Amino acid sequence: MKSGIFFRATLTLTMLLAACGREAAEEAPAEEHAEGEDHADESKIILSDDQIAAAGIQLERPSVGGAATIELPATIDGDPQGTQVVSAAIGGRVVALHRNLGEAVQRGQTLAIIESREAALLKGEVEASRARLALANSNLAREQRLFTQRVSAEQDLIAARTAATEARIAHAQAQQQVAAAGGGGGALNRLGIIAPLSGQVIGRSVILGQTVAADAELYRIANLSSVSLSLNLQPADAGRVKPGASVTVIAPGRQGSARISFVSPALDPDTRLVPVIAMMDNRAGQWRVGEPVTASVTLADGSGQGAVRVPSTAVQTVEGRTVVFVRSQKGFDAMPVVTGDRSGAFVIVRSGLSGREQIATVNSFTLKAELGKGEASHEDH
């Protein structure tokens, strides 16, 4: 009798333990699933529409297609074909300066006057050659008259013509020497230095009363109706930029366009970069020589065709990963992406986005901060 009771008690305990085991087995996957959900939620941010608006987060869709560009610093320079140094052809003392920095000048206008003994010699030779030419012409006229009257021989007439021709050549040479030195200037010992082209004075190297040597720079004049853009490319990028490529020039409050005119076939020995020059219209006078700007250069390899572009403000780095925050039904998902070249104010996304998503652009960094809070909370648990 006692053994039967013991058997029934043992059977009941075994059945209870088996039931508990089944319950534990059923509960375990649920717990594991919950942990998996927590891990998946690490890249999700739950925000309502009101919270998104309050945070100042702006949404837009990526742009697709267009040419790829790269951005790099550049400097505005004068047009090499429209810039000229005005120098003193002779040494002497500067007695007059007629133009200051920034002033406009027309070709042929006198910029400065130099007083020197050499100027007196040059101008004196002009006057002497003029007198000799006048005498030679007078002798030629007399010989022609005598030859007509059959008083003088033909050889005398020929000699007079030769002397007049030589005097004319000597006078022209003397005038050209004065013109090469500057010309004008008033007094016999003064020469005026004239502007070789129309433009604007961008440099003045002398002061009034200064003694200068021959070939010393006095002025620098530039025709700034067009300016050049100097930039340097990495050798890997130089093959992707061709003459004629468009360049967007960006400066505070201004934007313009230029065209690549020269890509150097050799690297600069100091920087190991490839010098590039672009030309830009400046008839409005909004660009200044020496001004630093940002150049967005269009690439010629077609790498941007069909590419997805997002504003640079949309790209964030989270735990070493590059992500873009994509709008979801409950908030945002941190979508890992692979980025490529910059395209102006945009970044090319090589993979991770289709271009049909809505993404956070302005103030997307607040989502990065919110994601960091969630990760910290998860680590605490």
pLDDT tens sequence across 22-41: 443 344 443 444 444 444 46
Burial 55-81 (b: 16+ CB within 10 A, else e): bebbbeebeeebbbbbbbebebbbbee
Residues in the chain: 381
pLDDT of residue 349: 87
**Who has greater pLDDT, 23 or 125?**
125
Across the range 358-363, mean pLDDT stands at: 90
Structure tokens that stand for 9 in this block: 């008690």
pLDDT of residue 72: 86
Confidence tier at 147 by pLDDT (50, 70, 90) = confident
pLDDT of residue 70: 79
pLDDT tens sequence across 286-337: 898 889 999 988 877 555 556 788 888 999 998 889 999 999 998 999 999 9
Q: Which of 271, 266, 343, 277 is nearest to 310 (CA)?
A: 343
What percent of the chain clears pLDDT 70, i.e. is strictly above it? Answer: 82
Q: Which residues pair with 298 in a beta bridge?
A: 69
Are the C-beta atoms of 307 and 64 separated by less than 8 Å? yes
Domains and CATH numbers, the chain: 44-68+305-380 (2.40.420.20), 70-79+224-298 (2.40.30.170), 84-222 (2.40.50.100)
Residue with tokens 């406009």: 104
pLDDT tens sequence across 221-230: 988 889 999 9
Average pLDDT score over the chain: 81
C-alpha 299: how far from chain center: 15
Does 347 have pLDDT greater than 90?
no
pLDDT of residue 5: 41
Lowest-confidence range among 59-68, 105-114, 165-174, 348-357?
Answer: 59-68
Are the C-beta atoms of 89 and 177 separated by less than 8 Å? no
| Helix, strand, coil percent values for the chain (each to nearest 5) | 35, 35, 30
Are the C-beta atoms of 210 and 67 separated by less than 8 Å? no
CA-to-CA dists, residue 271 to 80, 261, 268, angstroms? 22, 21, 6
Encoded amino acid at 377, one letter: S
Q: Which residues pair with 194 in a beta bridge?
A: 110
Q: Which of 327, 359, 257 is nearest to 44 (CA)?
A: 327
Residue 244 CA to residue 264 CA, distance in Å, equals 14
Helical axes 154-181 vs 117-148, angle rounded to 10°: 160
